[in-house]
Amino acid sequence: MVTHKTKGIVLKSVRYGETSIIASIFTELFGLQSYLINGVRVTSKKGAGKANLLQPGGILELVVYHNDLKNLQRVKEFKWAYVYENIFFNVFRNSIALFMIELLQRSIRQPEPNPPLFDFIEDAFVHLDKTGDSAAANFAIYFALNLSGFYGFMIADRYSGKNNILDLMEGRYVADKPDHQYYLEKEYSSVVSDLLKVMQPSELGHIRLNQETRRVLLHALETFYALHIQDFGKMKTLPVLEAVLS
């Protein structure tokens, strides 16, 4: 049976049977896939510690079997592609990572491969692991803003003195308040414009935001995604992230 080498980012893992795990993994080659991984929850030397690699957010090197006709694939081998220094061990960064993971879970629905999206996600998690605390504090907002571009509804940064109201339903800056409630006024829309201009995550540390501004923007982005993705729902990690960023 043919095997394929691919990188993957774990989005979710659940126990299956006595020793196995079913993991939802966004892969570079095949997009979002579900994998049955046997023998990773046993206490033998061979299985010890392997389940730890399947934590949400883990970036893996995989050798997999793939059948387009099956919904559940199998993994032959897997190992770390990148070993985190902070994300799994630091409450602050882990809360940001879990928000990012939930956003991916709620927005990636189909199994189609998307290598540019994979590269963006991988790069984002590595930067979150390495970047300073001031940049990390704005990371969830930065990630959500830029992720939307891969789904075709990214906000066009055409903020100006005249067009200073951000219409979340239309995803653009307008001059007059829309006839619905889904918009941000100048105080917050200008900050979104600043964040949209950030080219590298390390630059996020130069944008100083207070707790209330982050809270408003995170909830606005939750609304923004809900307006553009059917059945998006409410994010469970958002209250935890708010508490950590406070």
Please write down the HEC assignment for all residues of the chain: CCEEEEEEEEEEEEEECCCEEEEEEEECCCEEEEEEECCCCCCCCCCCCCHHHHCCCCEEEEEEECCCCCCEEEEEEEEEEECCCCCCCCHHHHHHHHHHHHHHHHHCCCCCCCHHHHHHHHHHHHHHHHCCHHHHCCHHHHHHHHHHHHHCCCCCCCCCCCCCEEECCCCEEECCCCCCCCEECHHHHHHHHHHHCCCCHHHHHHCCCCHHHHHHHHHHHHHHHHHHCCCCCCCCCHHHHHHHHC
Claim to verify: residue 31 and residue 61 sit in the same structural domain: yes
Residue 39: which CATH number? 2.40.50.140
- Predicted confidence at residue 43, as pLDDT, reads 58
| CATH, residue 202 | 1.20.1440.120
Q: Look at residue 17 in the predicted model and tell me its pLDDT.
A: 87
What's the number of domains the chain is made of? Answer: 2
In this prediction, residue 219 carries a pLDDT of 98
Predicted confidence at residue 147, as pLDDT, reads 98
Do 19 and 116 fall into the same domain? no
User: Low-confidence residues of the chain, pLDDT below 70?
Assistant: 42-49
pLDDT of residue 246: 84
Range(s) of the domain holding residue 14: 1-83
**Per-residue model confidence as pLDDT tens digits over 52-70:** 899 999 999 999 999 999 9
